[in-house]
Chains A and B, each alone.
Chain A
Amino acid sequence: DAGVTQSPTHLIKTRGQQVTLRCSPKSGHDTVSWYQQALGQGPQFIFQYYEEEERQRGNFPDRFSGHQFPNYSSELNVNALLLGDSALYLCASSLLGGRVESNQPQHFGDGTRLSIL
C-alpha cells in the first residue's frame, strides 16, 4: 500500500524563479492538501484540492497555486520565489469519497526541501 510520495526531495532555486512540486496521494485517497513548514515551526496550511478544484485556502499569496489531476495527484506551483519561501513543503492526502465530512486523519508525505538562494 503506497503512502504519499513527493518529488523532488530537494530543490535549489534562486530568487525570482518559478518552481513546481509534485505529490501522489496514498492509494485510495482523493483529497490533497499542501503545507509549508519553515525551520523550527509547525506546518502551515496552503490549500486543499478535491475533485480537481481548490476547496480551501490558507493565508498565502496568489504566487502559490496548484492543480489536481484526474488521478488525484497534485502539483504546487510557486512563482517569483522569495528568500522567505525556503521551507519544507508537505503534501497530505485523505479520503472524502463524496461525503461532506470525514473523520479519517490526513496522511503526510516526507516533503520537498526547497532552498532559495
Chain B
Amino acid sequence: LAKTTQPISMDSYEGQEVNITCSHNNIATNDYITWYQQFPSQGPRFIIQGYKTKVTNEVASLFIPADRKSSTLSLPRVSLSDTAVYYCLVGRANFGNEKLTFGTGTRLTIIP
C-alpha cells in the first residue's frame, strides 16, 4: 500500500479556502485517492475520491497532478463546522472490500 504524508495540523479563518496537500510518492497505477473527514467521537465520513486531474462535488474539490505523486483537497469558504481531522488514503479502486489504511491525518482548526 502506498504511504501517504500530510501535515499534522493546519489553522484557517472562517470564509477562507483551505488546501490540504497529501504526498503519495509510491502510488500504484490502479490506486485511487480518497479523503475522509472525522469529527470527534464520530466515524470517518467519505468526502471525495479521484484518480487523476480534478474532481469536484458539493463539498470539496480534489486536485491531482499528472504524476499523481501528490493530491490537494480544497475546501471552499470554510466555516467553524469544518473543524475536523482529514485523512488522505491511497488504495485500489475496489474500496468496498479494501482494508483501508489510515495515517494520523491533518487536524484542521477553523478560527472565528
On A, residues with C-beta under 8 Å from B are: 4, 31, 33, 35, 40-45, 48, 50, 55-56, 58, 88, 90-92, 94-96, 100-111, 113
Which residues of chain B come closer than 8 Å to A44, judged between CB atoms?
102
- Nearest chain A residue, comparing its CB with the CB of B45: A108
Once bound together, how far apart are the Cα atoms of A88 and B43, in whole Å? 9
0/1 interface trace, chain B 75-103, chain A, CB 8 Å (1 if under): 00000000000010000111111111111
Using A40-B104, A41-B104, A113-B41 as known contacts, list a sample of 18 further A-B pairs with CB atoms less than 8 Å apart, ordered by residue number in A: A31-B96, A31-B97, A45-B101, A91-B43, A94-B96, A94-B97, A95-B96, A103-B32, A104-B95, A105-B34, A105-B49, A105-B95, A106-B96, A106-B100, A110-B41, A110-B43, A111-B42, A111-B43
Which residues of chain A come closer than 8 Å to B43, judged between CB atoms?
4, 90-92, 108-111
Q: Does B46 have its Cβ within 8 Å of any Cβ on chain A?
A: yes
